[in-house]
Amino acid sequence: MKSWIKRSLAGLFGAAVVVGSLSACGHRPHDGGWNASAEQMAERRAKMVARVASKLDLDAAQKAKLEVLAGKLSEQRSALMAGAHPREQAQALVAGEKFDRAGAQALVDQKTDAIKAKAPEVVTALGDFYDSLTPAQQQKVRDFMQRRGGWRG
C-alpha cells in the first residue's frame, strides 16, 4: 500500500478514536451536581442518609436527626444556588472587555450572605446529630474525617 494511504487511514482511525472518546465522555448521565432536579437531590440525600446510617449503625432517633441535617444542608444549597446558573454568572463577569469587578464582588457578597443566613440552622442540626451519637459512633466520624477520601473511596 502506498504511504499516503497508510497515513490517511491511520489519521482517520486516530480521529475516530478521539471523537468516540470525547462523545463517550460527554454523554455521561446527569445524576446531580449543580444541575440536579429536586427529585435527583432528594434521591441523592436519601442514599447519603442510608449510607451514613448503615456505616454508623444509627438508631431511629439518630437517623431522624441526620435527616434533619441533610434537609438543612439541602436548604442551604438551594439558597446558595438561587438566581442564575453559576456558569452564566461567571460568563457575565467576563462578557465585556474588562472583568466586571463590581459584579464579581456583588456575586461573592450574595453567595456569602446566603451561606451566612442558613449557617445557624445547619450548625444547630449538625450539633444535634453529633451530640446524639454514642462515643463509639463519634470516634467513627472522627476516623472518617482523618482518612483521605473518606467512605467514597
- Does 12 fall in a domain? no
Give me the amino acid identity at 85. H
77: its cell numbers:
444549597
| 20 within some domain | no
For residue 110, what pLDDT is reported? 87
Q: How far is Cα 31 from Cα 74, in angstroms, rounded to an integer?
A: 16
CATH number of the structural domain spanning residue 73:
1.20.120
Q: What is the pLDDT of residues 3-28, one digit of tens each?
A: 666 666 655 555 555 555 544 545 44
Tell me the CA end-to-end span of the chain in Å, nearest whole number: 50
Which domain covers residue 54, as residue numbers? 35-152
> Is 11 inside any structural domain?
no
Model confidence over 54-111: pLDDT tens digits?
A: 999 999 999 999 999 999 988 888 888 777 777 888 888 888 898 989 988 988 888 8
Amino acid letter, 75: E
Average pLDDT over residues 135-139: 93
Q: Considering the entire predicted model, what is its pTM?
A: 0.67
Q: What pLDDT does 27 receive?
A: 45
Q: Which three cell numbers stand for residue 27?
A: 454523554
The answer to whether residue 13 is domain-embedded is no
- Non-local CB neighbours of 132 within 8 Å, separated by 6+ positions: 61, 62, 65
